[in-house]
């Protein structure tokens, strides 16, 4: 048996290509394509009175100008609401080009097609749109007050309203010996991948076929959406996803207005068209996430055990609701983390504002939920004077209680049942890793020197790998090379490597003989997409199942050829051989030849499969009734429900007593995503996630002014941390296999980001001695919090979290 690849820290096979500039991204394609650019709304809320394009018409190189009036049929209708949910009261989606109203700065109003992007932008600058400005609605408070409404025909701004309850939480809280209320606040951030969105379309009029390249997280989703809008059969649309320079959630949204207009224009013009988003467009016109206000009421006993938890969430969903209410659903369910909440009631309102849409960003509502729960845990500890780790331990679901049913419906519409996990073991590991029990002495010593240091701890559970399904196709070529295809897309996660590791083990072939294709509807039309930490769980399982089918067939064919029993065969290093007698064997490539009975030999190897060679069995047709030619396997993996990964972060910070700078001294992670396919890739995912967690805790926010203008729509003012701001991450792993899939794996893509805001808030709070209830927190804000604290405007800990929940909200 060759070395097992599954679980090995294999170097990512895609990296050499990607980091030496040999990747092929969307804008590397279509050198001969016309370029598109868009006139976008400069107003947060306005009615379009008139569009005058005459000023642009004499721009040399202009090809076409389109407005909503040029659209008809499905293209003139609003974009689809991708995930309908009964709790959605009024689901508004945008038009491909604004019809009458615009609802955020950056909304596309006019499409310009020109010889190149320079000319297109020149023309954009000469198009005059006459707007009647309307009142903007910016921020959760304004949206909830509803003195102004975002959408005509609505009496308030509530897009959706959902209550889930297990037990009678309010009665449990009322009867509890201790009760606390918290008001919490999290700001907007965004995915900001290195590569923005982009679409490149080729219409072949002779074949009536559309080939669409998109920088997306779902090839199959884009295909179906574009076909529906353009009035094409699915079979007329091919979607190919080139290398994608990061997604982090924003590219799961589809179809974007631009993703429809580009192929529509390509067909109308009979010429290739391309649009590659620029950074300013991405900031204003793609999607954001995170903004929520939460009111938590918790009742607990004297040991810190939760008796009742009541959470009220206001969620800012931006101008439209194309992706439904996945984010607040995730917040309201994943909030529970590794704990038994006693009775639980959660209610959220998802609110329209005249700002960019809010759709999942890595973590997808979990960072907010974890923030609510972990701030609550710390508040309970402060209230009771208990160790913060002990309060958590008192509330953990125990390993022997798995599978554990939280009694709610999760984001996949299926029960929130945790499949496995060992939270007490994780806590022990993180306490050891960070030196939890020794920290008090360190903190006291630091304080004696005039330094302020603090430690924080935060736990999370992440539902990963939701269905409905993914598929795998594995084929052995007559050369012995193995081609693997799965439908979901890759944005740099290392799927080529991880999936090849899985197939290498299943088939017994070297990784170097395996190539993996993702996100190409020509190779695997049935697929869902890459989101919710599902790539490895879903496609990993699917390609494993497909490889098992293929192997069964290979052994059957080889058994015939070797006149052996299939049960006695194994595949080692790409060769099928008799176990114990390796000299009796046949190359897998030869098995591929034999799997396809031929009339015509086209080369030396294929002679073996023609009708006058070898021993024929005249009682059977060359291809059996229940068989098919070729050495291929296709299978699909569809899980019963999501699998739940978990982890704990601990961080040590130091705050400057004079300047209020916040420095991370240590960042520790214990991570349990079940069986590790590739520890190197998992750790890379954790590192990247932690970077985004730190970003959301200390640096990034979307700074809208009261008029709805985004003030920091550039990397100069949107403070994505540099490498110099991201701490070294210390990682320990726990492997609690999932019983739900053939490989025992759980998703790992988002985990690193999830507890970032919660754990850093806890550490800053510990250093400062007063409650931190709003994130992110900047040095300037910490400076002002200190001022208020010094003047008695903020209560010290413990006691900061009062029944009135004032804190620093």
Partner 1 sequence: MKPPPFAYHAPTTLAEALDALADVGTDGKVLAGGQSLIPLLNMRLAAPGHLVDVNGVAGLDHVSVDASGVRVGALARHADVEADDDAAAAVPLLRQGLRLVAHPVIRNRGTTVGSLAHADPSAEMTAALALLGGSVTAASTAGRRTISAADFFVGPLESSLRTGELLVDAHFPRPPAGSGTAFTELARRHGDYAMCGVAALVTLDDDLRVTAARAAYLSVAPVPLVLDLTEAVAGRTPDTADFDAAGRLVRGRLDPEGDIHATAEYRAHLAEVLTARALREAAGNAVRR
Write the CB contacts of 153 (distance below 8 Å, at least 6 apart in sequence). none
CB nearer partner 1, residue 469 or residue 699: 699
Placement of tokens 């959605």 in the chain: 88
Dihedral pair phi/psi, residue 644, rounded to 5°: -110, 105
With H, G, I as helix, E, B as strand and everything else as coil, classify residue 281: helix
Do β-strands 306-318 and 343-352 pair in parallel, antiparallel, or remain unpaired?
Answer: parallel
Q: Which stretch binds partner 1 (CB under 8 A): 114-122, 203-211, 529-537, 559-567?
A: 114-122
Enumerate residues 723-742 that contact partner 1 by CB under 8 A: 724-725
Taking residues 775 to 804 in sequence order and writing x for each that binds partner 1 by CB under 8 A, - otherwise, the string is: ---xxx--xx--------------------
**Residue 405 binding partner 1, by CB under 8 A:** no
Residue 725 CB, nearest approach to partner 1 (Å): 6
Distance CA 355, CA 671 (A): 35
Total residues contacting partner 1 by CB under 8 A comes to: 29
Distance CA 162, CA 145 (A): 18
How is residue 126 written in tokens?
């000469």
Q: Which stretch binds partner 1 (CB under 8 A): 332-340, 528-536, 722-730, 741-749?
A: 722-730
Residue 700 CB, nearest approach to partner 1 (Å): 11
CB nearer partner 1, residue 609 or residue 694: 694
Distance CA 420, CA 745 (A): 11
Contact residue for partner 1 among 121, 165, 428, 573 (CB under 8 A): 121
Contact residue for partner 1 among 132, 278, 628, 790 (CB under 8 A): 278
Q: Which stretch binds partner 1 (CB under 8 A): 121-129, 155-163, 377-385, 751-759?
A: 121-129
The count of other CB atoms within 10 Å of the CB of residue 425 is: 14
Q: Which stretch binds partner 1 (CB under 8 A): 275-283, 451-459, 686-694, 763-771?
A: 275-283
Distance CA 793, CA 428 (A): 37
Q: Which stretch binds partner 1 (CB under 8 A): 230-238, 254-262, 556-564, 655-663?
A: 655-663
Residue 712 CB, nearest approach to partner 1 (Å): 6
Q: Which stretch binds partner 1 (CB under 8 A): 77-85, 591-599, 635-643, 719-727?
A: 719-727
Residue 758 CB, nearest approach to partner 1 (Å): 22
CB nearer partner 1, residue 687 or residue 784: 784
Write the CB contacts of 134 (distance below 8 Å, at least 6 apart in sequence). 43, 45, 46, 47, 101
What does the buried/exposed string (b/e) look like for 232-259 if buried means 16 or more CB atoms within 10 Å of the residue's CB? beeebbbbbbbbbbbbbbbbbbbbbbbb
Residue 283 CB, nearest approach to partner 1 (Å): 11
Q: Are 97 and 110 in contact (CB under 8 A)?
A: yes
Distance CA 259, CA 360 (A): 19
Contact residue for partner 1 among 659, 706, 793, 799 (CB under 8 A): 659
**Residue 712 binding partner 1, by CB under 8 A:** yes
Distance CA 569, CA 591 (A): 13
How is residue 470 written in tokens?
């993914």
Write the CB contacts of 666 (distance below 8 Å, at least 6 apart in sequence). 434, 650, 651, 652, 727, 730
CA distance from start to end of the chain: 61
Q: Which stretch binds partner 1 (CB under 8 A): 75-83, 148-156, 167-175, 718-726?
A: 718-726
Taking residues 666 to 705 in sequence order and writing x for each that binds partner 1 by CB under 8 A, - otherwise, the string is: ---------------------------------x---x--
With H, G, I as helix, E, B as strand and everything else as coil, classify residue 305: coil
CB nearer partner 1, residue 126 or residue 556: 126
Enumerate residues 70-109 that contact partner 1 by CB under 8 A: none
Residue 785 CB, nearest approach to partner 1 (Å): 11
**Residue 25 binding partner 1, by CB under 8 A:** no
- Dihedral through CA 144, CA 147, CA 152, CA 153, nearest 10? 80
- Dihedral through CA 804, CA 805, CA 807, CA 809, nearest 10? -120
CB nearer partner 1, residue 28 or residue 717: 717
CB nearer partner 1, residue 61 or residue 80: 61
Q: Which stretch binds partner 1 (CB under 8 A): 8-16, 532-540, 657-665, 754-762?
A: 657-665
CB nearer partner 1, residue 126 or residue 675: 126
Q: Are 532 and 364 in contact (CB under 8 A)?
A: yes
Helix (H) or strand (E) holding 568: none
Q: Are 771 and 794 in contact (CB under 8 A)?
A: yes
The count of other CB atoms within 10 Å of the CB of residue 512 is: 11
Residue 265 CB, nearest approach to partner 1 (Å): 19
**Residue 711 binding partner 1, by CB under 8 A:** yes
Binding site for partner 1 (CB under 8 A): 117-118, 121-122, 125, 278-280, 658-661, 699, 703, 711-712, 714, 716-717, 719, 721-722, 724-725, 778-780, 783-784
């Amino acid at each position: 048996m060759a070395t097992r690849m599954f679980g090995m820290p294999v170097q990512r096979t895609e990296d050499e290509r990607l980091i030496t500039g040999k990747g092929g991204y969307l804008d590397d394609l279509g050198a001969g394509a016309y370029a598109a650019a868009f006139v976008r709304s400069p107003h947060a809320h306005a009615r379009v009175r008139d569009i005058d394009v005459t000023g642009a018409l004499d721009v040399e190189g202009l090809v076409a100008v389109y407005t909503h009036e040029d659209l008809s049929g499905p293209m003139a209708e609003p974009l689809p609401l991708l995930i309908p949910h009964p709790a959605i009261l009024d689901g508004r989606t945008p038009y491909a080009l604004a019809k009458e109203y615009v609802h955020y700065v950056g909304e596309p109003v006019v499409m310009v097609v020109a010889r190149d992007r320079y000319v297109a932008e020149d023309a954009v600058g000469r198009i005059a749109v006459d707007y009647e400005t309307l009142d903007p609605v910016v921020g959760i408070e304004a949206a909830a007050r509803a003195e102004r409404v975002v959408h005509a025909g609505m009496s308030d701004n509530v897009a959706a309203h959902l209550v889930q309850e297990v037990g009678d939480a309010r009665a449990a809280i009322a009867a509890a010996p201790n009760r606390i209320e918290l008001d919490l606040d999290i700001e907007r951030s965004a995915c900001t991948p290195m590569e923005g969105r982009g679409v490149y379309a080729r219409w072949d009029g002779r074949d009536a076929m559309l080939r669409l390249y998109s920088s997306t997280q779902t090839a199959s989703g884009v295909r179906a959406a574009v076909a529906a809008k353009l009035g094409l059969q699915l079979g007329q649309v091919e979607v190919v996803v080139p290398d994608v320079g990061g997604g982090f959630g924003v590219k799961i949204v589809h179809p974007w207005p631009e993703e429809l207009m580009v192929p529509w224009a390509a067909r109308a013009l009979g010429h290739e068209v391309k649009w590659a988003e620029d950074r300013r467009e991405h900031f204003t016109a793609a999607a954001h996430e995170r903004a929520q206000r939460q009111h938590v009421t918790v009742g607990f006993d004297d040991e810190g055990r939760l008796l009742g938890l009541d959470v009220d969430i206001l969620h800012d969903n931006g101008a439209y609701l194309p992706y439904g209410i996945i984010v607040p659903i995730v917040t309201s369910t994943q909030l529970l983390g590794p704990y038994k909440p006693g009775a639980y009631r959660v209610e959220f309102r998802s609110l329209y504002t005249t700002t960019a849409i809010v759709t999942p960003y890595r973590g997808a509502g979990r960072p907010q939920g974890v923030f609510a729960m972990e701030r609550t845990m710390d508040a309970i500890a402060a209230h009771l004077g208990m160790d913060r780790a002990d309060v958590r331990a008192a509330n953990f679901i125990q390993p022997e209680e798995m599978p554990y049913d939280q009694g709610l419906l999760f984001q996949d519409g299926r029960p929130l049942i945790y499949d496995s996990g060992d939270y007490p073991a994780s806590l022990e590991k993180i306490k050891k890793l960070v030196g939890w029990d020794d920290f008090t002495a360190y903190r006291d010593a630091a304080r004696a020197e005039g330094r302020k240091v603090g430690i924080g701890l935060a736990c999370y559970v992440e539902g990963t790998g939701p269905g409905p399904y993914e598929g795998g196709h594995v084929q052995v070529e007559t050369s012995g090379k193995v081609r693997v295809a799965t439908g979901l897309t890759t944005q740099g996660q290392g799927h080529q490597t991880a999936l090849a590791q899985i197939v290498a083990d299943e088939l017994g072939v070297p990784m170097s003989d395996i190539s993996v294709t993702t996100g190409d509807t020509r190779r695997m039309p049935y697929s869902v997409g890459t989101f919710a930490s599902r790539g490895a769980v879903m496609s990993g399982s699917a390609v494993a199942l497909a490889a098992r089918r293929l192997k069964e067939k290979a052994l059957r064919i080889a058994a015939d050829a070797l006149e052996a029993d299939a049960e006695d065969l194994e595949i080692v290093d790409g060769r099928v051989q008799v176990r114990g007698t390796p000299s009796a064997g046949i190359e897998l490539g030869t098995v591929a030849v034999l799997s396809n009975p031929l009339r015509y030999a086209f080369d030396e190897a294929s002679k073996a499969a023609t009708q006058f060679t070898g021993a024929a069995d005249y009682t059977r047709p060359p291809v059996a009734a229940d068989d098919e030619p070729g050495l291929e396997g296709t299978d699909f993996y569809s899980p019963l429900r999501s699998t739940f990964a978990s982890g704990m972060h601990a961080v040590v910070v130091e705050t400057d007593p004079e300047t209020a700078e916040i420095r991370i001294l240590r960042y520790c992670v214990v991570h349990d995503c079940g069986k590790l396919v590739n520890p190197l890739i998992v750790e890379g995912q954790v590192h990247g996630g932690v970077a985004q967690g730190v970003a959301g805790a200390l640096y990034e926010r979307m700074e809208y002014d009261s008029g709805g203008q985004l003030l920091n729509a550039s990397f100069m003012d949107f403070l994505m941390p540099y490498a110099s701001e991201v701490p070294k991450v210390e990682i320990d792993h726990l492997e609690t296999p999932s019983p739900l899939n053939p490989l025992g794996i759980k998703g790992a893509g988002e985990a690193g980001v999830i507890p970032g805001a919660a754990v850093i808030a806890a550490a800053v709070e510990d250093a400062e001695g007063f409650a931190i209830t709003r994130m992110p927190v900047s040095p300037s804000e910490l400076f002002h919090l200190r001022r208020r604290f010094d003047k008695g405007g903020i209560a010290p800990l413990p006691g900061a979290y009062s029944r009135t929940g004032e804190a620093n909200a």
